[in-house]
Structure formats: structure tokens, C-alpha cells
Amino acid sequence: MTSNKFNRRDLIKRGGAAGIGIWAASHGLPVFAQDKPEEDLPEGAAGKLTVIHRTEYFEAAQNLFRDTVTKFAAANNAQLDISTTNPESFGDFLGKMSAAVRAGNPPDLAYTSTVSIPQMHLLGLLEDVNDVVEEAIKRYGNVMRGINAETIGKIDGRWVAVPYIANTTGAFFRSDKLAEKGIDPTTLDTWEQRREAALAISDPDNGFYGWGLTVNQSGDGWGVASAILNAFGGHFTDETGTKVEFDSLETIAAYEFIRETYDRNGKYAAMLPPGVESWGDISNNEAWLAGSVGYTHNAFSLYAAAKRDNNPVFPNTVLLPQPRANNGDHRNGGAVGGWLTIFKGAPNAELAKELALELLDPANFTPISSVAGGLFMPAYENLWTDELIAADPNYSIIKEQVDIEDPFIGPSWPAKPAAQIDAIRAQGVLEQSMGNVISGRMSSEEAVKDAHNKIVQIFEEGGIM
């Protein structure tokens, strides 16, 4: 699928202001639980290199990134304005960036993570960076095949964003607790098997709960909710991404799994931590590091923090593949954990392109990656040096994930990633509807039908009729 099937002109014509507002996720939706309120974007100006970047989990990694940018600006006799922002799909980054581009004073370059590349392209916010990516490939080898970079950042045959970091989500179990119950972690392939294991290792009387997963609206909640949906064969759309196919027997079965799992009066009540239904992104990190949960899905921030702090859970942490789908299909693969984007009309676009290549230079990239605990891994084959892999025994496991052949496409399955799927996420439709089932407000059938109708409305207001 290419952007020719639906574009910004159609979105404006058919969806009007409401369509842009929904698709840009700029209707005042809440940001991630741990994020601070969004600040105004810095204004770009000729001769002043303006860079915005995400906040790194490790201060040392962030300082190295900023040092690289600072030295580059000095070497090019450019004034520098560098700051952090909240480019998350629940924030108002896209709305503010749209305004900045229209005003003709956007920042030059951003290093972001979960912001939607298809949405930014659809809104006309991105400069073409095909020359930058082609030069990066020439210098550092192909983009890692397991991160689906081309399906997200290459639109109509040209790159609109520069892959910067390869990333993967870890599925972590407490190996010591499994061993106590005689459970071999390598046998835990499916969601059902892992749910049973989580129940078996639970000890609520002593404050230990097996199931450290939420489907509440958050980054982690979206990941768990969409993974369970897809594992049961449920999906949002057909292969074209233009026909909503959410209301199905497979989706209802996934919702029944959710209802059973989070039933406080049911079989699995003993494995549920207090308040798990309303957890945010930081909650499962805290619970894992406190030693109170036995199974969770998280970015490698969890692993990195345990390692950094010599937490006693660290040597008892086993990394598993993603749960298989019910039909046996694998769900492994990585993702682009960070993009470099240059904004339409950036006053110093050519200098920003040079900076992007400077940030990828192994002399700058490898030191950041080495201290970032698995959160800052290379997106290009030849940047996976022996030196880097030797920095941590689990880096080779991450490499396997981001280099996997035929990676799972992610929550858009069976369609390619696209702005309309990101709009579903930004509106929290999936998590809210599962919440309706958990709370008993709706049956699984009612919640699925209600969510289906909301997704149809999002598509129609976004110009997909």
C-alpha cells in the first residue's frame, strides 16, 4: 500500500478539520503516564541548528547524544538549539508540528521513537531523506531486515525518515519462580501456556503475582492488547488497510481471553497484581524491579535498569520469544526504535542531513549503544560490531530478533503499517473496549461491535470511505 490511496488532500476534502484532528492525534488525548505535559516546540531559524530529541533512559547515553550534536554544530559554525519533547502518539506533538510547518519555522531535525511516520507524511510534515538513507546504507550496510523499516519509513519508493535505532520488546519471566514449579520456560509458546505458568508461580499471600501485564491505554497496554488480538486471529482491517474487519469470531475469542484473565472473581484472580487494570507504562517496570511480578512485556529499559542497579531480579530474568499465534505462526521481529526526521521547510535542511549521518557514524553511535542497556541498538548491519556485541551477553539475542527473516508486521497485520492504524491506537479504541469487558460494562460481543463502529468512524473521518 502506498500513500497514493489516501492523501492529505483527500483527508482535508472528505474529513475536514475533524479528520485531521483525529488522524494527527491532537484532540487533547492524555500523554503516557510518565510523561510531563508537552512544552512548545522550539522555532527554527536560518543559521540556528534546531534539534529535538527523546529523553533517554540512561543519562550517560543522552549526554553522549547531545555531545555529538553540540560538537557537530560547533564544527559547522552554527548556533545550536537542542531540547527534548514528547513526540508520543498520545501527546500533541503532531498538532504542534503541523502548526510549525505551516508557520514556516519548524525545528530542523528530530530524533523520536513512537511518533507515527505515516501520519507525519500524510500531514505533509517531512522532507525527503532518500539521499541520506542511501548514503547510510552505502557506508554501514543494509537496514536490519527484522525491523520492518521499509514498510514504515519508505513511502512511494522513497525514504521519508532515517532509521536510527533497531529495537525489540522483551518478554520476561522470572526463571527462579518457574524452576520452583518445575516449569521449563522453553515450553511456554502461547498466551494460554504463559497465563497458566503465571498462575502457577503466583503467591499473593506473600505479595508475588504472576501476571505483570495490562491492557490499559498506554504504550505497553497497546502492545499487549494488540498482540493478544492478533494471536487469536483478530485484526483491524483487510490486507489493503481500507476495509474494517474488526468484528469477527476471532476478535470475540480474544476478548473472552481478556475477560477470563482479568476476572477478579475467576480462576486467574490470584495472579493479578492490585490495580493492574489501570497500570500505565511505568507500572510494570516498577513491579518487576520490586520483585513482585513474574511475567511481563517491556522494552529493554526493564532489563537495563535491573542490570545497572545490580537488582537481585536481574540474574533471574529469562528472555523469551514473543508468544506464538494460536495457529502456530511466529510473532517475532523488531522495530525501528528511533527515527531521524527532517521537517518540511526546515531552515537548515542540508545541515540536518549531514547531522543525521554524523549521528550514525560508529565513532558516535557505538559508545551510546554500549552504555544504553539494550535500548539503543544499530539499525544497520555493519554497525553491529564485535565490540558492541561483546558489551553485553544479551546483545546477540537482540540482534537475532532485529535480523529475523520475514518479521511479523505488527498490530496493522495483515495490512502494512499506515496512518489509519496509528489513528486507532491514538484514540485508544482497542484498550478502552477491552476495559469495557473487564469492568463488565459490555459483553465481549457488544464491546467488539462498539469498537468496530468506532474504527469505521475514524476511517470515514480520515477520508477512507
Residue 390, Cβ density class (10 Å: 0-12 exposed, 13-18 middle, ≥19 buried): exposed
Whether the pLDDT of residue 261 is over 90: the answer is: yes
| Domain that includes residue 33, residue range | 26-115+126-168+334-402
Whether the pLDDT of residue 241 is over 70: the answer is: yes
The region of weakest confidence among 79-93, 124-138, 209-223 is 79-93
Q: Which range is most confident: 34-38, 136-140, 315-319?
A: 136-140
pLDDT in tens, 414-434: 998 888 888 899 899 999 999
pLDDT of residue 86: 61
With a CB cutoff of 8 Å and minimum separation 6, the contacts of 403 are: 144, 145, 146, 381
pLDDT of residue 462: 82
The residues facing 154 across adjacent strands are 159
Task: Classify residue 238: in a domain, yes or no.
Answer: no
pLDDT of residue 101: 95
Mean pLDDT of 24-53: 62
**Domain tally for the chain?**
1
Whether the pLDDT of residue 345 is over 70: the answer is: yes
Mean pLDDT of 271-296: 95
Q: Is the Cβ–Cβ distance between 294 and 198 less than 8 Å?
A: yes
Mean pLDDT of the chain: 87
pLDDT in tens, 362-391: 999 999 998 887 888 999 999 999 888 888
Mean pLDDT of 186-202: 97
Nearest to 369 by CA among 170, 360, 313: 360
Return the CATH number at 146.
3.40.190.10
The region of weakest confidence among 31-35, 40-44, 260-264, 339-343 is 31-35
Whether the pLDDT of residue 73 is over 60: the answer is: yes
d(CA 170, CA 347): 39
pLDDT of residue 58: 78
Alpha helices by DSSP H, 104-190: 117-122, 130-140, 149-153, 175-180
The region of weakest confidence among 37-41, 61-65, 67-71 is 37-41
pLDDT of residue 465: 66
Task: Classify residue 273: in a domain, yes or no.
Answer: no
d(CA 62, CA 222): 26
Nearest to 88 by CA among 26, 31, 143, 24: 31
- DSSP symbols for 429-461: HHHHHHHHHHHTSS-HHHHHHHHHHHHHHHHHH
Q: What percent of the chain has pLDDT over 90?
A: 65
Task: Classify residue 19: in a domain, yes or no.
Answer: no
pLDDT of residue 262: 98
Task: Classify residue 132: in a domain, yes or no.
Answer: yes
Mean pLDDT of 446-455: 98
Q: Is the Cβ–Cβ distance between 232 and 225 less than 8 Å?
A: no
pLDDT of residue 91: 56
Positions of E strands within 299-428: 317-320, 335-342, 377-378
Q: Is the Cβ–Cβ distance between 193 and 187 less than 8 Å?
A: yes
pLDDT of residue 319: 85
Task: Classify residue 94: in a domain, yes or no.
Answer: yes
Q: Is the Cβ–Cβ distance between 339 and 152 less than 8 Å?
A: no
Q: What percent of the chain has pLDDT over 70?
A: 90
Whether the pLDDT of residue 14 is over 80: the answer is: no
Whether the pLDDT of residue 80 is over 50: the answer is: yes
Q: Is the Cβ–Cβ distance between 283 and 291 less than 8 Å?
A: no
Binned at pLDDT 50, 70 and 90, residue 79 comes out as very high
289: amino acid identity, one letter: L
Half-sphere exposure of 393 (CA within 13 A, CB side): 5
d(CA 190, CA 323): 5
Whether the pLDDT of residue 203 is over 60: the answer is: yes
Task: Classify residue 318: in a domain, yes or no.
Answer: no
With a CB cutoff of 8 Å and minimum separation 6, the contacts of 99 are: none
pLDDT of residue 296: 96
Q: Which residue has the cell 526546515?
A: 346
Task: Classify residue 366: in a domain, yes or no.
Answer: yes
Category of 297 on φ-ψ map: left (φ > 0), alpha (ψ -120 to 50) or beta: beta
Task: Classify residue 251: in a domain, yes or no.
Answer: no
How many CB atoms within 10 Å of residue 26? 20
At 362, list the grid cell: 560508529
Whether the pLDDT of residue 6 is over 50: the answer is: no
Q: Between residues 45 and 85, which one has the greater pLDDT?
A: 45
Positions of E strands within 217-264: none
pLDDT in tens, 317-337: 998 888 999 999 988 887 778
